[in-house]
Structure 1
Amino acid sequence: MDVHNVGDGVLASDVAAAHEADLAVQDGFGVNYLKYWVDEAGGKIFCLVEAPDAEAAATVHRKAHGLVADEIYPISAQG
């Protein structure tokens, strides 16, 4: 799970476009961006991603749109 702290002005429509850009380049890096959430009021974006490592996930964001996450947390599915 990655977290972007973007501050004021984050719009869900802009994040949707960035997510589409991620999907367009992710295959070349063994990455699968699954879902995202936007907190417009709090200026945060959360992305759920399957990746071989944090650097691969960051590389996809960097190549797709340049909005690299501020934090990346390894998580595992439960239940």
Structure 2
Amino acid sequence: MPLYMDIHSIEGGVSVDDVVKAHMADLRTQGRYDVSYLRYWVDEAHGKIFCLAEAPTADAAAAVHREAHGLVAGEIYQVQEGS
């Protein structure tokens, strides 16, 4: 299944605690869309969140975020894993 990396930009910064809550909501929702959110990274000071997911399409990955918590990524890219 394709891999997607999405990028969220939160004005004013973001806390890891809030991202953890959003990620848990993603995990509860992802099965309805055949998506698997694998990992995420957070830059609190700059308000950046990066999410890695296996999904059939970019739209399916975005739908999970939309339904789970409403924080849809501003950018999403299909990526290939390297070493």
RMSD between aligned residues? 0.8
Deviations 1:12-70 (A, max 9, x none): 00000000000001011010000001101111000001100110000000000000000
For structure 1, which runs of at least 5 residues remain unmatched after alignment? none
Q: Percentage identity across aligned positions? A: 59
Q: How does 1:1-79 map to 2 (within 5 A)?
A: 1-79=5-83
Secondary structure of 1:73's counterpart equals strand
The structure whose residues are more often strand, as a share, is: 2
Distance (whole Å) between structure 2 residues aligned to residue 40 and residue 8 of structure 1: 9
Aligned pair count reads 79
TM-score (norm 2): 0.91
Displaced runs of 4 or more, over 3 A: none
Normalised to the residue count of structure 1, the TM-score between the two structures is 0.96
